[in-house]
């Protein structure tokens, strides 16, 4: 089979601009319409964000099944809110940076997992507070009515309109000029606020004192610059911000000076028992931090603040030109861009969460870490490696079709086993059967867990919903072969589709078929429609089952999870069926992200607790 290099060839649209380590982009007739982007990765062993409830800390993903010439992009100069409350231009962010995202209706810190650029037609969104954002037409922002594309989409999706209200703080305020007047005010604020032992504040105070020894005096008529410095110094010495509420505790007469300074800068406040509180919640707390710029990072963030503010859209306009645009992937699937909640590219959600073939059904781009075995082997040899559980398949399928060509998994399995590292594999790909002898050998030296996802038995429905993936029978045969090889194998019955695959007859037949394979455990998960998957599934439902649209609206509303009453009903339906088919103590029912579901027995290595909490930001394979 002849492979054609495409990196600088006749099809530049297939390249991934800015992809680190890109060796070449290739395509082959064996994989119609799929482009493989071969990269030399610097790291293959990836740490799971600390806030994740997943029962493992490390993952290996030799393939990335989404395109980095992403559908969601913003101008590189767009300021992005960092985890410490400061801002940085989108173009200047790096993998590993901590930014502000959202989860459960509140702002949280999250990590940048990927960063890239592309060129697309540009649009401008203008907000009522004067802020604006330049983006691609298919970028999405969170409104009070749900996610909205700026101007376009692959199907008839909700679009942004004048009058919509974007969730967020509003445009970010400019910081102060740290001139001699500001520095003088800061030093007065630190001293009168009660001094401080915070390293960042002490470092700034020492620097300013060294620069302005002859200017440390209380001004007769303080200007804005001095006022900003004074408030920054007082806050560093005696302030804090918790859940978006900003407070400063000082003694009289400093309280009066603080109140006057806040009013001078148009902040509303209250005073009680020596504590000055800035009114307006997280938006005003963040504006304070940006306007006066205190030194202490630990007191600037809006962690745990609720998403209870929005700003109106006054214009959406095409700029009539292509621009270089940027995007990131974060652990929460979103970030705060110039004061509003912005969706980031997690393109897998539109096809791999519903068990569709990664890299084929969305943008037909697959990133292949061709040096994965060599890099992983080196990382596992590190004296710092503690041989903790490594999970594969929780983000992209390691046994997708590309593995038949690149054969990366045998080397990865051997490297893990030789280093004494327990591992697990979650897949829908029958290519895994090729490596059963190697997996059996590895299980002699380290604990191994294997999980297979299976949503339904109906072949016609499967072809409509999951084009390009192994058939239900092929996956059942895979489970049987895994068990015949003496290995454990847990099955995720996911996703269970309301009114389509949740009947007692269907679940009974599916569990019977799974039990016949000898599967060691089962977990059933109701359909989860996170942003991206939601729009794709709504389009599919409208085309294939329009009579069910109203029912799904009632079940899901504007959220990602089915109504809790439905989930309880599904759990009640599942329990006797699990008992009937011998899964007593080996079967669970739940929903990803809400703490109700366990991993099925066998899907994790022996000795790893099957804790509750199937993270909504992992397991996108299901």
If pLDDT is split at 50, 70 and 90, which confidence band does 5 have?
A: very low
User: pLDDT: is 215 or 546 the higher one?
Assistant: 546
Domain match, 557 and 519 both: yes
Q: In angstroms, rounded to a whole number, what is the distance separating the alpha carbons of residues 335 and 79?
A: 11
Domain match, 384 and 518 both: yes
CA angle 101, 535, 361 (to 5 degrees): 100
Compute the half-sphere exposure of residue 68: CA atoms within 13 Å on the CB side of its CA. Answer: 24
- Whether 31 is covered by a domain: the verdict is no
- Whether 582 is covered by a domain: the verdict is yes
pLDDT at 594: 40
Domain match, 521 and 413 both: yes
Domain match, 120 and 226 both: no
Tokens 């700026």 locate to 150
Region 31-51: what's the mean pLDDT? 77
Residue 122, H or E segment? strand 106-127
Query: How many other CB atoms sit within 10 Å of the CB of residue 107?
Result: 27
What pTM was estimated for this model as a whole? 0.52
Q: In angstroms, rounded to a whole number, what is the distance separating the alpha carbons of residues 85 and 64?
A: 31
pLDDT at 57: 85
Express each pLDDT in 284-336 by its tens digit.
999 999 999 999 988 888 988 999 899 999 999 999 998 888 888 787 878 99
pLDDT at 214: 57
CA distances from 330 to 333, 345, 346 (A): 5, 8, 8
Domain match, 205 and 250 both: yes
CATH, residue 547:
3.80.30.30
Residue 85 per-residue DSSP state? S
Domain match, 197 and 288 both: yes
List the alpha helices (DSSP H) in 136-223. 180-192, 199-211
- Whether 40 is covered by a domain: the verdict is no
Phi, psi of 128 (to 5 degrees): -65, -20
Region 572-583: what's the mean pLDDT? 91
Boundaries of domain holding 323: 69-146+309-344
Tokens 């470092």 locate to 203
pLDDT at 589: 42
- Whether 55 is covered by a domain: the verdict is no
- Whether 559 is covered by a domain: the verdict is yes
- Whether 164 is covered by a domain: the verdict is no
Q: Based on DSSP, count helices (H) and strands (E) in the chain, helices before strands.
A: 15, 29
pLDDT at 345: 55
Q: In angstroms, rounded to a whole number, what is the distance separating the alpha carbons of residues 180 and 255?
A: 24
| CB crowding 256-266: b at 16 or more within 10 Å, else e | ebbbebbeeee
Domain match, 268 and 390 both: no
pLDDT at 474: 87
Burial (CB count within 10 angstroms: exposed 0-12, middle 13-18, buried 19+), residue 13: exposed
Strands 275-278 and 310-330: unpaired
- Structural domain count, the chain: 3
Domain match, 538 and 395 both: yes
Domain match, 452 and 512 both: yes
- Whether 515 is covered by a domain: the verdict is yes
Does the pLDDT at position 541 exceed 50?
yes
Maximum distance among all alpha carbons in the chain? 87
Burial (CB count within 10 angstroms: exposed 0-12, middle 13-18, buried 19+), residue 220: exposed
Mean pLDDT computed over every residue of the chain: 82
Check: CB of residue 549 under 8 Å from CB of residue 576. Answer: no
Phi, psi of 579 (to 5 degrees): -65, -40
> Tokens at residue 376, please?
């992983």
- Whether 125 is covered by a domain: the verdict is yes
pLDDT at 271: 94
CATH, residue 241:
3.10.28.10
> Tokens at residue 248, please?
């400063």
User: pLDDT: is 34 or 89 the higher one?
Assistant: 89
> Tokens at residue 453, please?
């996802």
Interhelix angle 409-418/372-380, nearest 10 degrees: 10
Express each pLDDT in 512-531 by its tens digit.
999 999 999 998 888 888 66
């Amino acid at each position: 089979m002849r492979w054609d290099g495409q990196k600088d060839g006749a099809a530049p649209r297939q390249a991934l601009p800015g992809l680190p380590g890109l060796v070449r982009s290739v395509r082959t007739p064996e994989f119609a319409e799929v482009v493989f982007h071969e990269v030399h990765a610097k790291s293959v062993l990836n740490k799971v964000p600390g806030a994740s409830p997943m029962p493992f800390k490390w993952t290996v993903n030799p393939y990335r099944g989404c395109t980095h010439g992403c559908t969601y992009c913003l101008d590189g100069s767009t300021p992005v809110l960092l985890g410490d409350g400061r801002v940085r231009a989108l173009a200047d962010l790096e993998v590993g940076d901590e930014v502000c995202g959202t989860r459960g209706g509140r702002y949280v810190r999250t990590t940048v997992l990927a960063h890239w650029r592309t060129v697309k037609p540009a649009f401008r969104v203008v907000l009522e507070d004067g802020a604006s954002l330049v983006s691609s037409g298919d970028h999405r922002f969170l409104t009070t009515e749900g996610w909205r594309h700026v101007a376009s989409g692959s199907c008839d999706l909700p679009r942004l309109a004048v009058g919509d209200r974007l969730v967020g703080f509003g445009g970010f305020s400019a910081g102060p000029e740290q001139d001699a007047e500001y520095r003088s005010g800061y030093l007065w604020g630190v001293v009168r606020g009660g001094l401080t032992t915070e390293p960042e504040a002490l470092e700034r105070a020492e620097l300013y004192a060294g620069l302005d020894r002859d200017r440390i005096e209380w001004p007769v008529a303080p200007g804005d610059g001095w006022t900003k410095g004074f408030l920054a110094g007082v806050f560093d010495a005696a302030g804090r911000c918790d859940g978006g509420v900003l407070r400063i505790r000082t003694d009289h007469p400093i309280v009066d000076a603080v109140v006057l300074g806040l009013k001078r800068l148009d902040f509303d406040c209250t005073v009680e028992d020596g504590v000055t509180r800035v009114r307006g919640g997280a938006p005003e707390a963040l504006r304070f931090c940006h306007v006066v710029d205190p030194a202490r990072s630990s007191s600037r963030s809006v962690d745990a603040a609720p998403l209870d503010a929005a700003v109106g859209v006054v214009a959406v306009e095409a700029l009539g030109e292509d621009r270089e645009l940027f995007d990131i992937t974060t652990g929460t699937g979103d970030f705060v861009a110039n004061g509003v909640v912005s969706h980031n590219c997690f393109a897998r959600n539109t096809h791999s969460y519903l068990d569709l073939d990664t890299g084929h059904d969305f943008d037909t781009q697959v990133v292949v870490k061709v040096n994965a075995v060599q890099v992983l082997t080196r990382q596992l040899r590190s004296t710092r490696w503690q041989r903790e559980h490594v999970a594969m398949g929780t983000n992209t399928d390691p046994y997708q079709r590309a593995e038949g060509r690149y054969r990366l998994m045998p080397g990865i399995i051997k490297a893990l086993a030789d280093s004494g590292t327990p591992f697990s594999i979650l897949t829908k790909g029958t290519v895994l059967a090729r490596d059963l002898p190697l997996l059996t050998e590895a299980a002699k030296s380290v604990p191994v867990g294997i999980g297979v996802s299976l949503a339904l038995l109906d072949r016609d429905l499967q072809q409509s919903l999951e084009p390009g993936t192994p058939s239900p029978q092929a996956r059942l045969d895979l489970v049987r072969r895994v068990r015949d090889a003496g290995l454990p194998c847990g099955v995720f019955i996911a996703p269970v589709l309301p009114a389509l695959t949740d009947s007692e007859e269907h679940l009974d037949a599916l569990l019977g078929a799974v039990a016949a394979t000898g599967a060691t455990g089962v977990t059933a998960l109701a359909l989860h429609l996170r942003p991206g998957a939601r729009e794709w599934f709504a389009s599919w439902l409208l085309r294939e089952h329009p009579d069910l649209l109203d029912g799904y609206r009632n079940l899901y509303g504007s959220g990602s999870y089915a109504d809790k009453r439905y989930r309880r009903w599904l759990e009640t339906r599942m329990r006797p069926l699990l008992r009937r088919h011998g899964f007593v103590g080996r079967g669970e029912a739940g929903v990803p992200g809400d703490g109700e579901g366990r991993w099925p027995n066998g899907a994790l290595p022996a000795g790893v607790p099957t804790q509750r909490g199937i993270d909504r930001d992992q397991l996108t394979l299901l």
